[in-house]
């Protein structure tokens, strides 16, 4: 009697779940492992970083006094922070624009029906496989004032050696150039996928109407790639705003502080001075700036998006 009642109860319980509820449960079950790790290793770390930013927190010092917003006040008055922010914005702007243009051009080139298409795709993607250490060392030598192959090539044009990494006006563009060469492979793949999603009929119709290749690119390809461009630029800004390895390896922030980036400065604060509280304040401000910039990108580039 009791077993039958339980069985009926179970059956009733099962039938009370709607399809939507069952789907929600399944989704939660699939998401749960990720969410657990996300909560422990990301959310908790973010909360802890925000908390640390209100303390005078030295990693080895047992006393960590609460100091309110003093770290943030110090940050506002810290000229190195502002120099680093300016450098990082210039670097990010140059690199994101450059990477997007080069990646799009490369994607268009290797989407054409050419021989050895796959070979060229793989080849153009290859620099992305290198570590920042290898890329930095290669380009330090390429850009070397005395022995660099780039200056050697320019000498045949009668151009005197250029101090690529030593001239404060050239150092950020040089780091940007390095990063574009290193990083255009992945956005190129994204653009290839985007290009393959554009229906061929649109191009055929435009050609019948007398559209030139230039018209096809600017009035069909580019508008329909807008979601892809949004993705590439948003991820590019997030990635390049956190540049660290290139200035660390290629210039150590110099000349002077001409190539200090925000993360480079953050590392110095946290791991040279061991001021974790102040470093956390810097990290929080970087995160806020990135969130604002990403929001602006979404607002600007999401307009008139063609899905």
Q: Which residues contact other proteins (rule: CB under 8 A)?
A: 59-61, 109-110, 112, 114-115, 120, 123-124, 126-127, 134, 137-138, 141-142, 144-147, 149, 160, 163-168, 181, 253-258, 260, 268, 271-275
Of 50 and 80, nearer to other proteins (C-beta) is 80
In angstroms, what is the minimal distance from the CB of 69 to other proteins? 17
Residue 237 burial (CB count, 10 A): 19
Of 129 and 292, nearer to other proteins (C-beta) is 129
In angstroms, what is the minimal distance from the CB of 115 to other proteins? 7
In angstroms, what is the minimal distance from the CB of 72 to other proteins? 16
Of 89 and 138, nearer to other proteins (C-beta) is 138
Q: What angle do CA 226, 227, 228 make, to 5 degrees?
A: 90
Round to whole Å and give the CA distance between 219 and 111.
Answer: 18
In angstroms, what is the minimal distance from the CB of 153 to other proteins? 10
In angstroms, what is the minimal distance from the CB of 272 to other proteins? 5
Of 58 and 226, nearer to other proteins (C-beta) is 58
Of 5 and 60, nearer to other proteins (C-beta) is 60
In angstroms, what is the minimal distance from the CB of 79 to other proteins? 8
Round to whole Å and give the CA distance between 228 and 213.
Answer: 21
DSSP for the chain, written as a single string: -HHHHHHHHHHHHHHHS-HHHHHHHHHHHHHHHHHHHHIIIIIHHHHHHHHHTTB--BTT-S---B-TTHHHHHHHT-HHHHHHHHHHHHHHHHHHHHHHHHHHHHHHHHHSS-TTHHHHHHHHHGGGGS-HHHHHHHHHHHT-TTT-HHHHHHHTTTPPPP-TTTSTTTHHHHHHHHHHHHHSHHHHHHHHHHHHTS-HHHHHHHHHTT--HHHHIIIIIHHHTHHHHHHHHHHHHHHHTT--HHHHHHTTT-STTTT--HHHHHHHHHHTS-BHHHHHHHHHHHHHHHHHHHHHHHHHHHTT---
In angstroms, what is the minimal distance from the CB of 54 to other proteins? 17
Of 142 and 243, nearer to other proteins (C-beta) is 142
Of 129 and 222, nearer to other proteins (C-beta) is 129
Of 91 and 139, nearer to other proteins (C-beta) is 139
In angstroms, what is the minimal distance from the CB of 46 to other proteins? 20
Round to whole Å and give the CA distance between 84 and 104.
Answer: 29
């Amino acid at each position: 009697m009791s077993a039958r009642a339980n069985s009926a109860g179970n059956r009733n319980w099962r039938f009370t779940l709607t399809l939507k509820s069952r789907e929600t449960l399944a989704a939660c079950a699939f998401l749960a492992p990720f969410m657990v790790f996300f909560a422990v290793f990301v959310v908790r770390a973010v909360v802890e970083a925000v908390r640390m930013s209100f303390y005078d927190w030295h990693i080895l010092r047992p006393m960590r006094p609460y100091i309110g917003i003093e770290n943030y006040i110090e940050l506002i008055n810290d000229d190195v922070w502002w120099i680093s922010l300016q450098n990082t914005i210039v670097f990010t702007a140059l690199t994101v624009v450059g990477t997007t243009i080069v990646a799009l051009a490369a994607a268009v080139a290797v989407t054409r029906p050419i021989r050895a298409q796959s070979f060229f795709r793989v080849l153009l993607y290859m620099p992305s496989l290198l570590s920042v250490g290898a890329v930095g060392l290669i380009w330090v030598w390429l850009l070397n004032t005395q022995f660099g192959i780039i200056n050697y090539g320019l000498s045949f044009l009668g151009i005197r050696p250029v101090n690529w990494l030593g001239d404060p006006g050239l150092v950020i563009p040089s780091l940007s150039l390095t990063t574009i060469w290193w990083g255009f492979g992945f956005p190129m793949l994204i653009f290839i996928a985007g290009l393959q999603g554009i229906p061929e009929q649109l191009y055929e119709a435009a050609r019948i109407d007398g559209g030139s290749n230039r018209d096809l690119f600017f009035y069909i390809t580019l508008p329909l790639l807008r979601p892809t461009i949004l993705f590439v630029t948003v991820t590019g800004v997030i990635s390049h705003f956190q540049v660290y390895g290139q200035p660390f390896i290629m210039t150590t922030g110099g000349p002077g502080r001409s190539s200090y980036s925000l993360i480079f400065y953050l590392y110095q604060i946290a791991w040279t001075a061991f001021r974790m509280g102040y470093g956390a304040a810097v990290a929080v401000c970087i995160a806020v700036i990135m969130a604002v910039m990403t929001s602006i990108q979404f607002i600007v580039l999401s307009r008139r998006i063609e899905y």
